[in-house]
Structure 1
C-alpha cells in the first residue's frame, strides 16, 4: 500500500468522526529546505526533530469543540517536499475536505529561484482546482526572512514588488516568516492554528513596507500601493526575469515513465514512488533503466 493510500485511509477514518463543517485540509508546498516541516511541527506541537520530506508527508491535528467535547475539528495537513515539476500530479491524489487552504512557501534567501517556485505552485493549483467547487484559499509565505532582511535595499524592494504583485493577482494572503525570529514564528503558528481549527485566515495586521516583514491580508493591497501599473501574471514574470536571472540547474536526463495502468491515478502513485527513490541519498542514477523495466 502506497504512502498516499495509507494517508487517504487515515483521512477517511478521522473524517468519519467529524462533520464536513469541522474538517480542514492544508497543503503546504514550495521551496526545498525552506522550513516547511519546522513550521508544521510547531503548529502541531510536535517535539521531535523534523526530518527531510522526500515526497509527500501526511499528519493531522484534532481539537475538541468548546461547545461539545464530543464534536471534534480535524485538520488534515499535507506537506509536499518532492520536485516541483511533479506537484500537479501529486495534488490529484490528495483527498480534500470542505475548508481548504493551499500554502506556497518560497525561500527568500534564494532570489534566483523565487519565480520558478511561485509559478509552478500557482499553475499546479489552478490546473487542478479552477473548475472545482473546492478552490482553496491561497497563502504565500516568504521563508528565511532572517537572511533576506540583510540583502541590498533595492533587491528587497524588487522582490517584495514581485511577490506582492503575484499575491494581488491571485487574491492570496501574504506573510513573511522565519523560524529564527520568535515574533514571526508566533504569527505564522497562530495563522496555521486558526486556519486549521478556526474559520478564516487571521491576518488582521498589515505591513507593506519592504524594510520590514510583509504581512498583507488578501484584497487589501493595490497596484498603486505596490508602485507599478496593473499587470497580468505574465507581465509580472517578464518584469521579474528582466532583472533576476533564474538559476540554471544541472539535471540528470531521466527517461519518463509511460502510462501503463487503466486508472491515471495509479500512474501518478507509481511516479510518486519512483520520485521517492530518486530523492534518497543512496540513489544511483544508473538504476533508472531497471525502474523502467519494472512497469
Structure 2
C-alpha cells in the first residue's frame, strides 16, 4: 500500500505536469512539540477548525490565482512533521519537493534548555538529506511562544537571542519570533508564510535586532559586529550557549521495565496500527480510493 507522501507525489505529478519554479512552492514545518505549528498553519490557510495534534506528518495545500486573467495559479504544498525528531530523517527523505523549497524550524522559546538540541537536530537532518542536492531548501527559524519568552530575565533573553542570531548567520537562515496570542506577531508570521508561499520571499523592511523586542532578521542582513560577539564557528556558538544554558538531563525515573518492542516511536500510533490491522484481517477485499485516503489525512 502506498504511503501518504507517495500518494501525494503521484497527485502532484499528475496535476503539475507543466509546473515551474514560478507557480509552485513547498513548505516543510518541523520543530518542538506543542509549540503551535498547526495553529500557525491553520491561521495561514484561514482554517476555522480547532487544531489537533499532528502524530507524524500531515499534508495540506494553498492555492492562489495569478494576475494573468486568473488562469495561472500558484500552488503551495505544505508538510507538517509532528513526530519525534530522531526519526525525522525517515520522513524528510520521502517528501516530494516542487518549486521553491522552504524548511521552517519552529523552536519553543518557553523551553530554553531544549532550544539548542531542537535546532541542531532539525538542521543537521536537513543537511544530511539535501547535501549536494539541487532541491536544497531555504532555512527559516521561527521562535514560538514569544508571549512567554518576553517575560524572562533580560540576560537570559540576550543569551538566547545571541545564540539564535549566531546560528542563523552561520546557516544563512531567516529568523523571526512568533506568538499566536499576540495579533501583531500572528499577522507578521502569516504574512511571511504568504510571501514565501505565493510571493517573492521574505521582506527586509520590518527587520528588528533588539533582543528586548521580538526578533525579525531576514537572511544576509545580520553581522557578527551587530550581534556583539566575535566571528565564531558552530562549535564555538554551541559551547558558549550550553555553558550559560545547560541542556535538560534525561530522567530515568519513568523508564519502563517492559521490554516489549513497538513498531513505531509514537505510542499513539501503535494502538492505531493494531486497530487498522484488525480491520484488514476481517475484510475479504480492499478497495479504497485515493480520495478516501487523503480525506482521512486532512
**Same-fold call, TM cutoff 0.5:** yes
Aligned mates of 1:27, 1:246 — CA distance in 2: 26
Q: TM-score, normalised by structure 2?
A: 0.84
- The corresponding residue for 1:65 is 66
How many residue pairs get aligned? The number is 269
Contact 1:15–1:74 at 8 Å: present in 2 too?
no
Q: Which deviates more from structure 2 when the two are superposed, residues 221-230 or residues 1-10?
A: 1-10
Q: Check 1:253–1:112 CA distance in 2 against 1; reply closer, same or farther (3 A cut).
A: farther
Gaps of 5+ in 1: 258-270, 288-295
- The corresponding residue for 1:99 is 100
Gaps of 5+ in 2: 275-298
Q: Check 1:16–1:194 CA distance in 2 against 1; reply closer, same or farther (3 A cut).
A: same
Q: TM-score, normalised by structure 1?
A: 0.85
Name the SS of the counterpart of 1:240 in structure 2. helix
Q: Check 1:183–1:234 CA distance in 2 against 1; reply closer, same or farther (3 A cut).
A: same
- The corresponding residue for 2:296 is none
Instruction: Say yes or no: does 1:216 pair with 2:217.
Output: yes
Instruction: Say yes or no: does 1:227 pair with 2:223.
Output: no
Superposition deviation, residue 172 in structure 1 = 0.6
Q: Check 1:133–1:252 CA distance in 2 against 1; reply closer, same or farther (3 A cut).
A: farther
Larger radius of gyration between Structure 1 and Structure 2: 2
Superposition deviation, residue 130 in structure 1 = 2.4
- The corresponding residue for 2:111 is 110
Name the SS of the counterpart of 1:212 in structure 2. coil
Aligned mates of 2:258, 2:126 — CA distance in 1: 25
- The corresponding residue for 2:264 is 274
Instruction: Say yes or no: does 1:29 pair with 2:19.
Output: no
- The corresponding residue for 1:121 is 122
Aligned mates of 1:253, 1:94 — CA distance in 2: 36
- The corresponding residue for 1:290 is none
- The corresponding residue for 1:165 is 166
- The corresponding residue for 1:179 is 180
Aligned mates of 2:109, 2:270 — CA distance in 1: 26
- The corresponding residue for 1:197 is 198
CA RMSD of aligned residues (A): 2.3
Superposition deviation, residue 21 in structure 1 = 2.6
